[in-house]
Amino acid sequence: MATFVLVHGAWHGGWCWKRVIPLLRQAGHDVFAPTLTGLGERAHLLSPTVCLDTHVRDVLGVLAYEDLREVVLVGHSYGGMVITGVAERAAERLAHLVYLDAFVPRDGECLLDLFPKTAREQTLARARAEGDGWRLPPLREEQPFGVTDPADIAWLRSRLTAHPVPTWTQPVRLTDPKALALPRTFVECTATGWFRGFAERVRSQPGWRYQDLPTGHDAMITAPRALADLLLGKRRDKPGRRVVRARG
């Protein structure tokens, strides 16, 4: 039996894993999907003081109070920043890090450091214009996060909430040798291709595994069975492709 902790991305909440959680539990595994402070059902806690460290401490609290060990820690999109910070402070509780179409920071980088300059400036300008400089409303896309089914789009849009910008400006630290030695998998959602640069970077680095999913960025919504199968190690390996397998 493995223990999965699923960390959502910006504007989302623990609700976004609703279709994946039952599949992992049906296979006999424990699953936790916390909602980060200020988002989802915790949107009433949103404030200018919510930063990356706040969200790292959210997940650390789950690990400590649930007494979790040998955890497969999955971070989606912005959640890659969070799981990197968690690994720095609780590597002894973790078995594997999974970056699901996610940001992969180096030591000392914040999320906005990973944006192209123009995108970074546009993001901060929109926060100033629409969120008092410290919060950012959800993006107004026709097919948000690569979700294409009209019913899924309506469900998704009804739950997205503003995201605190300080979580994107605080740098992450990654200096603990135990954290750096953890096995890591990058899962690229190829239908959108937003994180191809990170996928290409880590594929050439030791200690990384790579897998892809032919679906949009929000794979937990658009391809929950394929994502669950990947996490459970049910997908057959192909040349140049290795999968993360649940331990136990």
Catalytic residue IDs:
77
CB atoms within 10 A of CB 85: 25
DSSP string of 25-76, one letter each residue: HHTT-EEE-PPPTTSGGGGGG--TT--HHHHHHHHHHHHHHTT--SEEEEEE
| Residue 60: both structure tokens together | 């650390």
| Residue 58: both structure tokens together | 């959210």
Phi, psi of 185 (to 5 degrees): -125, 135
Cα angle 66-71-74, degrees, rounded to a multiple of 5: 110
Distance CA 144, CA 114 (A): 21
* Four-point Cα dihedral 134, 135, 140, 144, nearest 10: 120
CB atoms within 10 A of CB 104: 23
